[in-house]
Each structure stands twice: as structure tokens, then as C-alpha cells.
Amino acid sequence: MEIMQLCSVLQASLSPDTAQRKAAETALQQHAHLPGQLTNLLRVAVEGTLDVSVRQVAAITLKNLVKTRWDPDDADSPDIAEEDKASVRDNLLEGIVRAPPAVRSQLGESAKHVVHFEFPDRWPALMPAVCTLLTTQDEAQLYAALFMLRLVARKYEFKDEEDRGPLEAVVAATFPRLVLILQHLLALGSASPDVGELVKLILKTFWSATYMYIPAPLAHPQQFAPWMTALHTFILAPVPTEGEPEGSLRASWSWWKAKKWALHISHRLFNRYGDPKHCRDRAVDSAFATQFRDQCSLKFLEAHMALVGRYAEGKWLSPRVVNLALQYLTVAVKAARTWKVLQPHVPQLMARVLFPLMCFDDDDAELWEDDPQEYIRKGYDITEEMYSPKSAASNFLHELCEARGKNMVPFMEQVTAIFAQYQQAAAAGQVPEDVARRMDGALLSIGALSDILKSKAAYKGQLEGMLAAHVVPLFASSHGHLRAKACWLGGVFSDTKFAAGHGSGPTFQALFKANVALLADPDLPVRVGAVMAARQFIDAYDTDEVDQIKPLIPSLLDEIFKLMQEVDNEDLVLTLEAIVEKFEDEMAPFALGLTQHLAAAFWRALEAEEAADGGDDGLAAFNTIRTMCTVLDSVSQQPALVAQLEDVCFPILQKMISENGQDVFEEVLELLAYFTYCTPAISPRLWSLWEPMAACLNEWAIDFFESVLVALDNYISRGTDHFLTCKQPDYLALANQMAEKALTDDNLEEEDVCCAAKLLEIILQNCRGRIDACVPGYLALVLRRLPTARKKLFQDLLLNVVASAFHYNAQLTMSALVSAGAVGGAFTAWLAGIHGRGKRFRRLYDKKVQVLGLLAVASLPEEQLPPEVAAGLPDILAAVLKLLIALREQEALQEVESSSDGSVEDSDSDEDQEGANLVEEIRARGTQGDDDGGLGDDEDEKEDHGYLERLARARARAKETEGREHEESDGESDWTEDEEEQTPIDPLDPFRALAATVHLLQHRASPRFQAFAAGLSPQQTAELQ
């Protein structure tokens, strides 16, 4: 698109006329991939004669194209012509120089992506250009150079040392000049926000460059001294007041932001490099740490104390600056060198700064009255907590009392005095606002010290008296914030050991009942606090007395439902989950309402996340779905009710089984697993999810194959006829494609492919006699992958497919192997896996399927046995006996463990004796029931809830291990979780199957039986006769 035409289209995209605007947007999309378009967009964006709004639209369009199409490794992204890329690289820096702020910010976003993908290999000219601009006196050119340098440093901010080579060169080339610029800017004494922006860019660049490691040039004294001096100077310098905005804009002024970054850097340097003993792994870090300890730690401490002193005098500091200054002082408490300097100032610090910060203040009161939802959000938002001065004060207090315990006594005396002052005022019938606010701070400080108070002998015995005398009465306070704080503190100490025991006794009951009463409080923050504390009380409740809560469940749930309509708070969802888990047997009457409210909360969280382009709402959506799973588990034995819940949850499944659901995919698949297992029958709409789920697996969700497999197993085992007969879509073909794609992709890790082998087993065992055409293909996939399989666990799963194929149809499987010329290789690998070293086939299931497969081979008629297999019959029987011995030992061990008797015989007993005993057992079992290994005539098939129990355990494990990564282990525990999976071979008894095979061979062909039993000892042979 030519420049003039492009300008016209960009102008039209701003038109208030919808049709004209959409036509312009369509034209921009149609020309996006054409050569020259990217270059022309950049030219328009930097052209000073054009209207700023047109330039801004051009920059935004450029940014969107760069973000979606620049990545050279993205196969799905249309290529940008190399000529356009070169043109952008050559002109982007100059464009940032010439652009006004509104356009510059959009070009900066483009620069971020270009630097990420192009520097240094495809953009070697960038740093020479930046270095040239760093020497200029022109403010716009200097800004562009600093901005681009910041992007380069940011690219390496989280890189490991071996990947930071280019950054070291950048630091060496630019940081000597950079510190001179910083010194010059600070010496100007300017109040210009543009100068503040330049200072901020320099400090952010330093932060990114030093975040993971100290670059070697900065550890050199010639660079260390000027950088630390400049940093110290800026921390001490007052923020300019000329031109400073007022109100809520004050904290976002460039000078306060720059000050924040200076404190951010100083805290991190002190925390990480304040003690050289912690930096011995890297010589550069150690050298830097030694200099920082000797030259900076005390000077920086004094600078931070001076900052805090200004706050104590009533001067305004931004909340983040106060927070970071207190973080530095908190680290100083632990270090002996800095503690000696800080210690004399602690009493004044506590009285004039820390405790006032912890008290309820005017800002809190304004939010409480004018925007209670925002008050609640700030109180429960983890990001707010991290950045809050109140939290920093609490953390300092905790560190002070834990690391320097002698300070605990005077502080507790101060708290006791405040308690007495409040009690006296309450007795007089009127509590002044200032007394109530100090009481609020005292309660917050007690909660902050809860773990210390619960563990110290001097205090834990007094906690119950303190709660009864000073906290219980606050539930009836006329001050709403004290009622809310009483709920919070009661929850914090609900797990205290009371005189009557944990979760029991009059004080515990008084706290709990008072908390429940506030569920109907007129103030929203109080009601939310009461619900949050209820979760802690329920968790702490004595097991023998927990039935007392059951009558309260309807009102508690009702209040939570009401609050969910007023407040979007993930802690409400977690409280619901705790109630459902604690009282799952009572949840059926409430399950539908619970799920409806959870679904509504999910959609609200998803909408908020999409509007905010990520954030904490993603976690809220995750918790909501997890709680739905908990509800489903509680009613899993009521299929009709589960079907009703499907009506509510299906739109969520439909939406999130796609790229939209990547952050909650595992939890969504767990929902699907419940519905495909617990409903009376799998509904057509649940079947409609198979195709999108398969598409996700094939495109991006291979890491979730294990979770996908649970749903696939349910589809195949519970809807076998539909799975096999439906052709639009052809579910069998789709399943085969999933397995084939995984098993033939040599780039996938073996742990990601294991489930493909399991899928083939599931199909073979559930579709016995109905998929003959698939068997040769399955065998070909397995035998192709088996020689390259490295891990024994993966080899075992592949061999399980071979065994399942023989169990499916031994004649067909043998014929397929013969046709492929693979008989010798297959049986060699098979028997080597059983007889080889190391633990193999660890699950009971593995051993059973192997035995059934080998016995199916032995049962083939003489004429269907290839010579090499017939010659190996003694090895096959030996393999069967080895597996059965191991299976019986494993069963016995599980029985011993479940009966709490720890005496287990050594499993390395004499194999001949084991074999003899085993034959006796085979003969005994062979006389029981049918020869096919099924249930006997007088046996009842028992209901098996193992699948649901396994789902519940998996959910519990997921909750316990959130945020942790696990390496694969070859330990037995890798498989124990699958033992309760339901499979079609569950009813089959491998001991009876062997007895039936022996009986068949004895009567079919005695010479064949003699060959089969050639490997037995005389005693074993006699027993089999």
C-alpha cells in the first residue's frame, strides 16, 4: 500500500462511521502481509507533518504486526519480508527519537519484540548506534538510547550466566558512560519530569543487568564506587516538589518512580550481596559483596533511616518507597553489622513509624465507607500485600521479634497497654476513634506474630485468656473495622491449642459463634471477613465435635452465595471448597446451587481476565474450577444429580477445551473425567468435546496427555459401541491418529509418549474382537519405537501393548508379526524385558497383562506357532512363573501394609520353592471358578469405586504440589497411583488362567505340554501333572 493511500486508510480507521471504520480495518488486514507494509507503517508513525492520531494508529498497527508475525521460529506466523525487517531495524531507533510520547510508547512495544528476536545476531548495529546517542546532549536522543539499552538489559534479566555473554559486553561498553550520565542528571537539580524519566530508565537498566548476577565490570572498584555513590546520593536526595501532581497521581510521578527503583536496587543488593559468605560460588559476586559490605551497607542503612525519619516527621513518601525502605531495614535486623547501628533507633522507629502504619488510618476509613469492594480487594490481594507499607511494617515487626527476641517483651507490653486502654474506654460506654484505630493496629501486630506466640512457652499459655478477654468482645464493637479484625484474628488463632484441646472448649466455641453471627453484619467487609475466618474455624474444629456445624451449613452457604454476587474474591471460592471437602456427605442438596454460583463466578473471572489481559483473575478461574471438581466428587455416586451439574458446566467445558483454556486445562479435563464417568450415560454433547480435545493434544497440549487419557478411557470403556460405530467423527480413527502422532514424533520426551501406549492398550482391551484391522498398525508403532526406548518404564508400556494384542487375538497378532518379519525381534525384546535386570513391570496390572499375553501365545495351536516361538516355550513358562511369583509377593506386601503388620519376609527367597508353592496355588485356584479366569458361579461382582478415589487423590496431590515441579523417578511410587484404574482384565485371575492353559495343553498335546514344562524342576512338574 502506497504511503498516501495508507495515510487515508489509517485516517478512515478513526472514523466515527462504523462502515467506513470497518472497511479501513479490513484493508489494513488484507495488506498486512505485503512487502513494504511494515516499512511504510513506520514511516507514517515518525512523519512529523502528519496528524498525531494518524501516527499513533500507524504505530499501533505496526506493533500488532510485529507482535504476531516477527517471530522467526513460529511456523504458524506469516513471514515478514526480510527487507521489511532490515528496514525496521535500521530506522526504529531514530523513530523513537522523533516520535511524540503517544507514538513513542507504541514504537517502544515494537522495539521490545524486535530486540528480543534480533539482538545481537541479526542486529549488530544496534549497540554502536546506542553508544553514539549516549554521548549526545539532545534529550530526545538520550531518551531513545536509554530506552533501547533498557530493552537489551531486560532481555537478559532472567537469563542464566552461560546465556548472558552479550550482556557482559553491553555493560562493559555502556555502563561507564551511563553512570556519568546519571551523575550529571542528579547534579542538575532539575525538577523536570523528563529528567526524572531519564533517571528512572538508567536505574531500571541497572536493575535488569544485575538481577541474576553481577556483571564483571561492575565488581571493579572503578565502576563500583561511582555507581554506589550515585545510588546513595539519589536515595538521600529529596524528591523535587516543583510540578509534583496532587492526589492519586502523586505516587506515579516520574521522580517518585525513579526513587522507587533506587530503593528496589539497594534492597536487592543488600539482601543478596550484604554478606560475602553467601556469594562464594562466583568470584565476581564475592568481590562485589565484599565491597558492598565494607563500603555501602551502613551508609545505605543510614540513608534509608533518614527516609523513614522524614516519614515520621509527617513528610509525604509514596507508599512503595515506604515499603521498600522498611524492607531494607528488615534485612538490616538480621545482619549483626547493621543491627548494631539500627538497634538504638528501634524504640522510636516502632512508636513513630511501624505501629502507626499498622493502625487503621484515614485512607482505610475512606475506602471502607466509599468503596468497600476496593477495601476488600486490597485486603486480600497478594500484590497489594507485597507492596503495602502496612505489610512491610508487619514483616519488620516479625523479623525483629524472631531474630532479636528481646524486643518481644517491650512490644507485648505496649500491646497490653493498648488492650487495657481500649477495655477501659469500652467499659465507659464510648470508644474514641483514635483508641479504636490503635486497637486495630495492636490486633494486626498480634496476628503478624501469631506463629511466634503459638510456639513460645512464655506466650502460648496466655493466648486463650487474651482471646477470651480482648478479642471475643470485639465481635460486638460499634467500629466495623474492629469487628472485621476480630474475625481475622479469630481465624488466625483458631488452630491454637485451647485448654480443652484443639478446636474445642468454651473460648473456641465463643469465637466461632461470634464469627458466625457476623455473617449477617451490615458492613460488607465484615461479612467477607467472617466467611474467610469460617474456613479456618471449620478446618480447626475438633473431629468429634464437627457435627455441631452441620446445621449451620445452609446459612453459611447462602451467605457465601450472596457475597459472591457482590464481591469477586477467590478466597470465597476457597472457603466453599473447604466446606464441601469437610461435609461432602451433606452436599447433595446444595450441589446444584453451588455449581451454578461457581459457574457464574468463573465467567466473571474469565471476563475480568480477558479485559485485563491476564492477572490474578486467572488464578480465580483456576480455583473456581477446582472447587467444582470438589463438588462433583462429593456427589459422584448420584448419577442423576451429576447429569444436572453437566447442564451447568458444559458451556465451561466447551469454552475451555481449546487454546482459551491453557491455564486451567488440567482442571477442565478433571471436570470432563467426572462427567464421562459418573453420569448415567455419556451425552452427545460430551461426545462433541472429543474432537477439540484431540486437536488441543495434537497442537499444544501434549504435556496434558495423562489428563486427556482419563477422559478418553471413559469414552472408550463406557461408550464402546458409539466409539466404534460413529463415523462422523470417526472416534477410532481420531484415537489412532493421537497415538500415532505421539509415538512417531522422535522429538517428544518419553514421559509425554507413555500415554500413547496406554491408549492403545485401552482400545485393545475394551474393543476385543472388533478392531482386527487396527492390530497390525498398533504392533508396527510399538515395534518401531521399542528399540529406541531408553527408560524401562516406557519399554514396559510398549510391551504391555504387545501383551494386550495377544490377549485380544493371539492368532491375528502372531500372523501380523510373521507378515512383518518381526517375530524374533518382538519375542526377544519381550522376554528380555521380563528376565532382564532391574525392576520391571512394577504394577500388579503390568504383571497380569503380561501373564495373560504370554499364556495366549502358549495356547495357540501347534500349526500357528512359528518355530522360534515353539522352541522358546520353556522360556515363556519361566517368564510366566517369574511374573506370578512377583505378583503374589506384591499382593502379600500390600496386604501386610494395609493391616499395619510391618513384618515382611525377604522377597529374595529361593525361586524353586516359590515356584513349587506357586504351582500349589495355581492348582488351588484352578479348581475355583471358570477356566477363563472370570468370576466363579457363586461369586458376586463387587462395586468398585477405585476410579473416583484415584481422582480424589489426584486432586489432593495437585493441591499439595501446586507450583512444584517433579522429576521422573524410577521408584515404585511412579506406578502405585494407577493400581485402582478399572480395566477390562480386572475380573481375570492370572493364576486360574495359567491353570486353564496347563489343562488345555495336557489334553490337546502331551508333547507340547512337556516342551512347555521343560524348564520346571521335578517337583514343579509333578505338581502340574
Side-chain-side CA neighbours of 925 within 13 Å: the count stands at 23
224 alpha carbon, distance to own chain's centre: 39
Question: If pLDDT is split at 50, 70 and 90, which confidence band does 966 have?
Answer: very low
Kindly report the pTM of this predicted structure: 0.76
pLDDT at 942 over 90: no
Strands (E), 317-420: none
pLDDT in tens, 194-216: 999 999 999 999 999 999 999 99
Please count the helices (runs of H) and the strands (runs of E) in the chain.
56, 2
- Count, residues in the chain: 1025
Beta-ladder partners of 381: none
pLDDT at residue 1012 in the model: 62
Task: Report the run of H or E that residue 982 belongs to, with start and end.
Answer: none
**Of 944 and 754, the one with more pLDDT:** 754
Q: Which of 185, 94, 72 is nearest to 145 (CA)?
A: 94
> 462 in helix, strand or coil?
coil
Confidence band, pLDDT 50/70/90 cuts, at residue 969: very low
Q: Which residues contact 278 (CB under 8 A, 6 or more apart)?
A: 272, 289
pLDDT score for 291: 96
Rounded to 5 degrees, φ, ψ at 498 are -80, 170
Q: Looking at residue 593, what is its pLDDT? A: 92
- How many C-beta atoms surround the C-beta of residue 417 within 10 A? 12
- Partnered with residue 727 across adjacent β-strands are 730
> Are 234 and 262 within 8 A, CB to CB?
yes
What pLDDT, on a 0 to 100 scale, did the predictor assign at position 933? 40
Candidates 415, 876, 439, 959; CA nearest to 666 is 959
Distance CA(976)–CA(943), nearest Å, equals: 21
Distance of CA 72 to CAs 77, 82, 86, Å? Answer: 8, 10, 14
Task: Of 303, 404, 305, give the one whose Cα is nearest residue 348.
Answer: 305
Distance CA 657, CA 822 (A): 40
The answer to whether the CB of 535 falls within 8 A of the CB of 578 is yes
CA 1017 to each of CA 854, 879, 962: distance values in angstroms, whole numbers, following the listed order: 20, 15, 53
What's the grid cell of residue 86? 532490515
Using alpha carbons, list the distances in angstroms from residue 993 to 417, 661, 709, 833, 843.
80, 46, 29, 21, 19
Report d(CA 399, CA 332) in Å as an integer.
Answer: 10
Q: Above 50 in pLDDT, residue 932?
A: no
Give the per-residue SS3 of 985-1016.
Answer: CCCCCHHHHHHHHHHHHHHHCHHHHHHHCCCC
Tell me the backbone φ, ψ of residue 786, rounded to 5 degrees: -60, -45
Q: Pseudo-torsion of CA 342, 347, 351, 357, nearest 10°?
A: 30
Q: Which three cell numbers stand for residue 124?
A: 549488530
Taking alpha carbons only, the member of 234, 211, 244, 209 closest to residue 223 is: 209
Q: What are phi and psi of 875, to 5 degrees?
A: -65, -35
d(CA 737, CA 639): 32
C-alpha distance from residue 758 to each of 134, 549, 699, 753, 925 (Å): 61, 45, 20, 9, 29
**Encoded amino acid at 104, one letter:** R
pLDDT single digits (tens) 767-808: 999 999 999 999 999 999 999 999 999 999 999 999 999 999
Confidence at 279, pLDDT banded by 50, 70, 90: confident
Task: Inform me whether the pLDDT recorded for 920 exceeds 60.
Answer: no
Q: Are 337 and 293 in contact (CB under 8 A)?
A: yes
pLDDT above 50 for 902: no
Residue of 533, 546, 612 whose CA lies nearest to 572: 533
Q: Pick the residue with more confidence: 584 or 231?
A: 231
pLDDT above 70 (res 605): yes
- What's 495's DSSP letter? T
User: Would the pLDDT of 986 be above 80?
Assistant: yes
Cell output for 1021 = 512338574
Owner of C-alpha cell 490377549: 807
Q: Three-state DSSP class for 359?
A: coil
Identify the bridge partners of residue 498 per DSSP, sorted by sequence position. 501
Query: Does residue 972 have a pLDDT over 90?
Result: no
d(CA 524, CA 443): 20
What does the alpha-carbon distance between residue 965 and residue 956 come to, in Å, rounded to a whole number?
16
- Average pLDDT taken over every residue of the chain: 88
Would you say residue 963 has pLDDT above 50? no
Q: How many CB atoms lie within 10 A of CB 166?
A: 16
Residue 730 φ then ψ, to 5°: -90, 95
**Reduced to 3 states, what is the DSSP secondary structure of residue 568?**
coil
| Mean pLDDT within 254-281 | 94
% the chain with pLDDT above 70: 88
Cell of 521: 453484619
Please state, in angstroms and rounded to a whole number, the distance separating the CA atoms of residues 134 and 146.
Answer: 8
- Dihedral-angle region of residue 789 (phi above 0 means left; psi in -120 to 50 means alpha; beta otherwise): beta
Name the pLDDT band for 320 (thresholds 50, 70, 90): very high
Q: What is the CA radius of gyration of the chain?
A: 36
Give the highest mean pLDDT range of 233-237, 554-558, 943-947: 233-237
Beta strands in 538-657 (DSSP E): none
Alpha helices by DSSP H, 792-910: 792-808, 810-820, 823-835, 844-858, 867-871, 873-898
pLDDT digits (tens, 9 = 90+) for 974-984: 433 445 567 89
Least-confidence region, from 354-358, 778-782, 809-813, 861-865: 861-865
pLDDT at 877: 87
For residues 961 and 353, the model is more confident at 353
Banded model confidence at residue 226, pLDDT cuts 50, 70, 90? very high
- The average pLDDT across 658-684 equals 94
- Residue 497's φ and ψ, nearest 5 degrees, are -80, 105
Q: 128 to each of 131, 133, 170, how far by Cα in Å?
A: 5, 9, 10
> For 97-147, how does the pLDDT look when each residue is reduced to its tens digit (9 = 90+)?
999 999 999 999 999 999 999 999 999 999 999 999 999 999 999 999 999
Quick one: which of 431, 353, 416 has its CA closest to 390? Answer: 353
pLDDT reported for residue 620: 78
Per-residue DSSP letters for 716-767?
HHHSHHHHHH-BTTBHHHHHHHHHHHHHH-TTS-HHHHHHHHHHHHHHHHHS
Cell 557482559, residue located: 168
Task: Supply the DSSP symbol for 501.
Answer: E
464-478, 492-506, 991-1005: which range is least confident on average?
Answer: 991-1005
**How many other CB atoms sit within 10 Å of the CB of residue 634?**
21
List the grid coordinates of 1010. Answer: 512337556
Quick check: 875 and 1015 in contact, CB under 8 A?
yes
Long-range Cβ pairs for the range 347-356 (8 Å, 24+)? 347/410, 348/312, 349/308, 349/312, 350/397, 350/411, 350/414, 352/312, 353/308, 353/311, 353/312, 353/326, 353/393, 354/326, 354/393, 354/396, 354/397, 355/393, 355/414, 355/441, 355/445, 356/441
More confident residue, 566 or 129: 129
Q: Take residue 464 and report the three cell numbers written for it.
A: 486463650
Q: Look at residue 962 in the predicted model and tell me its pLDDT.
A: 45
In this prediction, residue 921 carries a pLDDT of: 53
- Of residues 835, 712, 806, 814, the one with CA closest to residue 763: 712
C-alpha pair distances (Å), 1023 with each of 402, 877, 916, 963: 72, 15, 8, 56
- pLDDT at position 77, please? 60
